[in-house]
Amino acid sequence: MKTSFQIGKIIGIPIKVHFSFIIILALFAWAFAAESFSIFGFTIGFGNLPISLGVQFLLGVVIAVLLFVCVLLHELGHSYVTQKFGYKINGITLFIFGGVSQTEEIPRNPKQEMSIAIVGPAVSIFIGFVLYLVYSFINQFSGSLSLQIVSVSFGTLAFYNLLLAGFNLIPAFPIDGGRVLRAGLAMRMDYGKATRVASGFGKGVAIFMAVFGIFYNLWLTFIAIFIYFGASQEQQALGVSLALENVKVKDIMTPNVESVSPDMSLRKLSDYMFAHKHLGYPVIENDKIVGTVSVMDLRGIGKDRQDSVLIKDVMHKNFLSISPEDDAINAFKTMARNHNDRLIVQENGNTVGIISWSDVLHAIKMKEN
């Protein structure tokens, strides 16, 4: 089931919205509409203004949307610099904790990673500072109701942009400050060790935040859980990258792979799988690959129908292929990105092998040992 949908593109980057974003947008809109408090000289929310609840909620929605536009600009800052360094951005997704840029590959160059990480908070600080100047200017005038609404709007947006920048500068991996920390450490030590240290520090910060949040603000606890598991996933992802470093597809693929005909029945395919011990095969017709079939395609086909249903009726015609000279990590990423458990290995139009999840996982396990 798709959990996010694309709403457009900016500088060629797909912008997506996760379903959880709708929840946080509604919560922020209600909070801005119903509450009003002062902090560090800012007035936040429209709750104390002499306007109807409907108008308050409408204003809350507008400010909530503008706030997440600012979050999007924060992420676009990261993405723009990432692209400038030659790395691909698969998209930006807005979700319950803000936004995240899906980068094809995190730069191993510490200076590049530091530049990418710091630009997001820099964008938020710039936006917050400009909005604060406007807020301060408006507050010099005594107030009609319209000016009060404009003042609260600019003050709220200025405060939350500065808060966003401040939060992201906390050295808790994998948020921006944690990436700056890893980049700094990587200038002095091995990249893998720098990641482990930054990840461990991030987990420590997350645990502190979680405990603090239990007593003061549960929202901090939820954010802490996100940081903790994010740090764990980043460390695992790096472990995979390091394990597959300098490994080619041809080193771990299954060569001379068995193939099947599109006119073979599913009954015969089932027997063929049992005899040859593989769970997926390329489908070849007239010496040309026309699709792929796996044990998953047998599911839902009753045994009483397996004699009459042919492979060509269930095979996947839009198969994915990769070169034997490609890096194994690229095969891993392609399979993960496309939710596919195997790739056809082709060279000069000829099928020379197949690479599956089990091949990749076996290689990772062997490297780790």
Write down which residue in 226, 243, 260 finishes a domain: 243
Of the pLDDT bands very low, low, confident and very high (cuts 50, 70, 90), residue 133 is very high
Spatial separation of the C-alpha atoms in residues 220 and 354, rounded to whole Å: 46
Local structure of residue 297 (DSSP, 8 states): G
Q: Does the pLDDT value for residue 106 go beyond 80?
A: no
Query: If you average pLDDT over residues 69-95, what whole number do you get?
Result: 87
Instruction: Please give the sequence-ordered ranges of beta strands (E in DSSP) within the chain, or none if there are none.
Output: 4-10, 13-18, 37-39, 42-44, 89-95, 98-103, 254-255, 280-285, 288-294, 321-322, 342-347, 350-356
Q: How far is CA 59 from the centre of its chain?
A: 31
Domain check: are 259 and 235 in the same one?
no
Spatial separation of the C-alpha atoms in residues 246 and 55, rounded to whole Å: 60
Q: Does the pLDDT value for residue 369 go beyond 60?
A: no
Domain check: are 71 and 134 in the same one?
yes
Domain check: are 147 and 282 in the same one?
no
Spatial separation of the C-alpha atoms in residues 319 and 351, rounded to whole Å: 12
Domain check: are 277 and 364 in the same one?
yes
Instruction: Give pLDDT, residue 26.
Output: 85
Task: Return the half-sphere exposure (C-beta side, CA atoms, 13 A cut-off) of residue 199.
Answer: 17
Spatial separation of the C-alpha atoms in residues 203 and 47, rounded to whole Å: 37
Q: Does the pLDDT value for residue 300 go beyond 60?
A: yes
Instruction: Give how many domains the chain has, as a whole number.
Output: 2
Instruction: Give pLDDT, residue 119.
Output: 93
238 touches 199 (CB < 8 A): no
Q: Is 169 exposed, middle or buried (0-12, 13-18, 19+ CB in 10 A)?
A: buried
86 CB neighbour count, 10 Å cutoff:
9
Residue 277 domain boundaries? 249-368
Q: Which two tokens stand for residue 183?
A: 């980049």
Q: Which two tokens stand for residue 264?
A: 């073979």
Instruction: Give pLDDT, residue 368.
Output: 61
Helix 191-216 vs helix 176-186: angle between axes, to the nearest 10 degrees? 150
Instruction: Give pLDDT, residue 89.
Output: 84
Write down which residue in 228, 243, 258 finishes a domain: 243
Spatial separation of the C-alpha atoms in residues 13 and 218, rounded to whole Å: 34
Domain check: are 33 and 144 in the same one?
yes
Spatial separation of the C-alpha atoms in residues 37 and 46, rounded to whole Å: 9
- 141-161 in b/e form (b: 16+ CB < 10 A) is eeeeeeebbebbbbbbbbbbb
Domain check: are 236 and 100 in the same one?
yes
109 touches 101 (CB < 8 A): no
Domain check: are 180 and 269 in the same one?
no
Q: Does the pLDDT value for residue 255 go beyond 60?
A: yes
Instruction: Give pLDDT, residue 230.
Output: 79
Of the pLDDT bands very low, low, confident and very high (cuts 50, 70, 90), residue 165 is very high
297 touches 279 (CB < 8 A): no
Instruction: Give pLDDT, residue 327.
Output: 86
Domain check: are 187 and 313 in the same one?
no
Spatial separation of the C-alpha atoms in residues 170 and 189, rounded to whole Å: 21
Domain check: are 81 and 170 in the same one?
yes
Domain check: are 107 and 227 in the same one?
yes
Instruction: Give pLDDT, residue 115.
Output: 93
Write down which residue in 214, 243, 272 finishes a domain: 243
Domain check: are 195 and 278 in the same one?
no
Q: What percent of the chain has pLDDT over 90?
A: 12
Of the pLDDT bands very low, low, confident and very high (cuts 50, 70, 90), residue 363 is confident
CATH number for the domain including 271? 3.10.580.10
Q: How far is CA 71 from the centre of its chain?
A: 15
Q: How far is CA 66 from the centre of its chain?
A: 22
Instruction: Give pLDDT, residue 97.
Output: 62
Q: Which of 108-112, 188-192, 202-206, 217-221 has the lowest mean pLDDT?
A: 217-221
Query: If you average pLDDT over residues 93-115, what whole number do you get?
Result: 79
Of the pLDDT bands very low, low, confident and very high (cuts 50, 70, 90), residue 131 is very high
Instruction: Give pLDDT, residue 158.
Output: 93
Q: Does the pLDDT value for residue 142 go beyond 70?
A: no
Q: Which of 112-126, 164-178, 185-199, 277-291 has the lowest mean pLDDT?
A: 277-291
Which of 35, 75, 285, 368 is catalytic? The answer is 75
Helix 53-84 vs helix 19-34: angle between axes, to the nearest 10 degrees? 130
Instruction: Give pLDDT, residue 1.
Output: 53
Spatial separation of the C-alpha atoms in residues 252 and 318, rounded to whole Å: 23
Domain check: are 269 and 212 in the same one?
no
Q: Is 75 a catalytic residue?
A: yes
Query: If you average pLDDT over residues 261-268, what whole number do you get?
Result: 87
Mean pLDDT over the full length of the chain: 84
